[in-house]
Amino acid sequence: MPKRKTELINGEFYHIIERGNDKRKIFLDDEDRLRFINSLLVFNDTAPSPWQSRAFWKRQKELVMSYQPKNPLVEIHAFALMGNHFHLLIRQITENGITKYTRKLGGYAYFFNKKYQRTGSLFEGRFRAKLIQTETQLKNNFVYINTNPIELVEPQWKEWKVLNPQKAIQFLGSEYRWSSYQDYLGKDNFPSLIKKDFFAKLFNGKQEIKNEINSWILSKSSIYSKGIDKTDFLE
């Protein structure tokens, strides 16, 4: 396997994206999404995970509210689940932590294949990673990941064609729970999963985070890019 172009360094932030093999959907219902959220939480540990225990996974609603890994591999600061891929904004805190973490997420593929009676690879292969190098990139990637689900109601949002920005704002803040955004608004959605303190401080609180997200969405209602460098993001 060729060497990864992006070196993964402890203490640095990375935007991670992984897609389904042949762009297939990797989440077909809310049970899948909840299982993956719990996988993000449970597999973030240097110790082996009880991923084959049915009794353990039956506690899914309890896990997302209170479970804490003993020795985390990474810090998860933002995430978004889409139909055929997912985004993570994470900071590596142990040597090779990101690589080990994404490998352990293969436990979700085992669950998915068993549930839908399929075989073969679920994910397309090696995950993509982009090193975040500046504070501006860090803020932009945070906003980009949390607004990614807009695509579900505004398919042309990446082309700066959000037709109904107020609908998109309502969708993100109140209707779509499969991202980190609602937790940053102060709701106990998946409180055990993400580290909120860093970005709460960076944006000076949840109201400023909300303002940044809403401003981003409103800017997408124009055909103009407002000077944002699209090369900052993984798509």
Residues of the chain whose pLDDT is less than 70?
Answer: 1-5, 50-66, 222-235
| pLDDT of res. 224 | 42
Would you say residue 230 lies in a domain? no
- Indicate the pTM of the whole model: 0.87
Q: Where a domain ends, among 131, 155, 177?
A: 131
Would you say residue 90 lies in a domain? yes
As a whole number of angstroms, the distance between CA 185 and CA 41 comes to 20
Q: Where a domain ends, among 102, 131, 160?
A: 131
Q: Which segments of 60-205 does DSSP mark as H helices, in order? A: 60-66, 97-104, 106-115, 135-147, 165-170, 181-184, 197-202
At 98 the three-state DSSP class reads: helix
Give the total number of structural domains in the chain: 2
Q: Are residues 107 and 30 in the same domain?
A: yes
Q: Are residues 77 and 57 in the same domain?
A: yes
| pLDDT of res. 66 | 66
Would you say residue 6 lies in a domain? no
Q: Are residues 37 and 89 in the same domain?
A: yes
| pLDDT of res. 180 | 97
- pLDDT tens readout for residues 80-126: 999 999 999 999 999 999 999 999 998 899 899 999 999 889 998 77
- Chain-centroid distance of CA 196 in Å reads 14
Q: Are residues 121 and 93 in the same domain?
A: yes
Q: Are residues 27 and 69 in the same domain?
A: yes
Q: Are residues 21 and 127 in the same domain?
A: yes
Q: Nearest-CA neighbor of 115 among 19, 33, 17, 193? A: 33
Q: Are residues 104 and 188 in the same domain?
A: no
Cβ neighbours of residue 107 closer than 8 Å, sequence gap 6 or more: 39, 43, 49, 51
Print the domain residue range for 30: 13-131
| pLDDT of res. 213 | 93
CA-based max dimension of the chain: 52
| pLDDT of res. 2 | 45
Q: Where a domain ends, among 131, 155, 189?
A: 131
